[in-house]
Chain A
Amino acid sequence: SQQGEEDPQALSIQEGENATMNCSYKTSINNLQWYRQNSGRGLVHLILIRSNEREKHSGRLRVTLDTSKKSSSLLITASRAADTASYFCATESGGSNYKLTFGKGTLLTVNP
C-alpha cells in the first residue's frame, strides 16, 4: 500500500522558477527520502532526511520534515528543463527491514 501522498499530482513551471512539492505520510518513520524518475535514467536518489532532522539542503534542493504533521516538502530552486521528471517521496519505517514505501509522485514539467 502507498504510505506517502504527494501534492500536487502535476506541476508545470517556467525555467528559472522554483518548484515545491509536498508529501504526507501515515506512520512513524526512520527517514524520508526523495527520488526522481525520468525515462532516461530510472529512479535516482536525491536526498534523505532522518526523523530527528527538520531541514536539509543539497545543491538546489531543500527538504523539510515536520514529524508532528507527518509531512515533508521538496523545494527545487532555479529550475531547469532537465529537472522535468516525476518526483517521489519514500519513507522507511521502524522495523521495516529497510524497505521503502513510495507515494504516487508529482510530475514536474519545466518549460524552457
Chain B
Amino acid sequence: DTGVSQDPRHKITKRGQNVTFRCDPISEHNRLYWYRQTLGQGPEFLTYFQNEAQLEKSRLLSDRFSAERPKGSFSTLEIQRTEQGDSAMYLCASSSFGAGEQFFGPGTRLTVL
C-alpha cells in the first residue's frame, strides 16, 4: 500500500503527558499537512510543510504543539503537556506540487484522560 500512513492509530494518554505522532506521506509528494478533527466537525488545518520547510502554522497550534519534517520525508507532530481538549483525530495529508487534491492518512485518534 503506497498511501499515506500514520502511527499510532490510537493513543490514550493521561493529562500532562507528552505524545508524538508520525506520518509517512506518499513518497513523491513534497507537500505535507496536519489537520485536527473533533466529533461532528470537519478537519481543521494545523500546519503545512513544503519539503522540510514548515511554511504555515495555524493559531490552533499552541506552543505545546511542534511539528517537524526532517529531510522532507516523514513528519512528526508532538504535543507536550497534553490537555483533555487535545482529544481529537489528528489527520495527515500529502499532495504533489501543483495538485489541489490531498491524500489523507487514516488518522491518529488521541484520547486524553
Contact = CB atoms under 8 A, between A and B. Distances in A.
Given A43-B91, A97-B55, A97-B56, A102 B104 contact: no
A2 B36 CA distance: 12
A29 to B, nearest CB: 10
Interface residues of A, number: 25
Contact of A104 (B35, B40, B50): B40
Given A98-B48, A102-B35, 13 more contacts: A1-B44, A4-B42, A30-B100, A33-B100, A45-B104, A48-B100, A97-B48, A98-B33, A99-B33, A99-B45, A99-B56, A102-B42, A105-B42
Contacts of B95: 98
Chain B residues touching A, majority SS = strand
A98 to B, nearest CB: 6
User: For chain B, which range describes its interface: under 10, 10 to 19, 20 to 34, or 35 or more residues?
Assistant: 20 to 34
- 10 A-B pairs with the lowest CB-CB distances in the bound complex, closest first: A102-B42, A43-B104, A99-B45, A97-B56, A42-B106, A45-B101, A31-B100, A88-B42, A48-B100, A102-B43
A109 to B, nearest CB: 15
Interface of A: 1-2, 4, 30-31, 33, 35, 42-45, 48, 50, 88, 90, 92, 97-105
B31 interface: yes
Contacts of A30: 100
A2 B58 CA distance: 13
A50 B101 CA distance: 11
Contacts of A102: 35, 42-44
28 contacts: A2-B44, A4-B42, A30-B100, A33-B101, A35-B104, A42-B91, A42-B105, A42-B106, A43-B104, A44-B104, A45-B101, A45-B102, A45-B104, A48-B100, A90-B42, A92-B100, A97-B50, A97-B56, A99-B33, A99-B56, A100-B33, A100-B43, A101-B45, A102-B35, A102-B43, A102-B44, A103-B42, A105-B41
